[in-house]
Amino acid sequence: MPKNTTVDPQVKPSPALEKKTRRVFTTEYKLSIIQQADACQHGELGALLRREKLYSNQLSLWRREFAENGIKGLEKSAPGPAPSKTPEQKRIEQLEKENALHCMIPD
């Protein structure tokens, strides 16, 4: 006779499948990584980047920002430029264009 098995109705998401959030690095952390990278001997930089889960282009960018603007360059917080128009403004423009097209078409 088969055993009576019940199914758990509650879904439990796997933490491994949860959406990852963008990492935010402090100025002190960036400066520390630049200093550690500069102190690396031949062949040690890759191990540092793997241990910290960083990409070489991140380090290059941080070095460039530090060289150009000093510590102020490492303080960037917002990725990319701010949008010039709000979603509402974009929608209004779209509707105005559609409206203009409809006015031009003869009935």
Tens-digit pLDDT profile for residues 26-73: 999 999 999 999 999 999 999 999 999 999 999 999 999 999 999 888
Cut 0.75: pTM above it: no
Task: Collect all residues with Cβ–Cβ distance below 8 Å to 38 and sequence separation of at least 6.
Answer: none
Query: What are the sequence ranges of the domains in the chain?
Result: 24-78
Average pLDDT over the chain, rounded to an integer: 84
Buried-exposed string 37-72: b where 16+ CB fall within 10 A, e elsewhere: beeeeeeebeeebeeeebeeebbeebbebbeeeeee
For residue 29, what are its two tokens?
């952390």
User: How many angstroms separate the CA atoms of 11 and 63, rounded?
Assistant: 45
Residue 85 pLDDT greater than 80, yes or no: yes
Residue 5 pLDDT greater than 70, yes or no: no
> Do residues 59 and 37 touch, judged by C-beta distance below 8 A?
yes
What is residue 80's predicted lDDT score, i.e. its pLDDT? Answer: 66
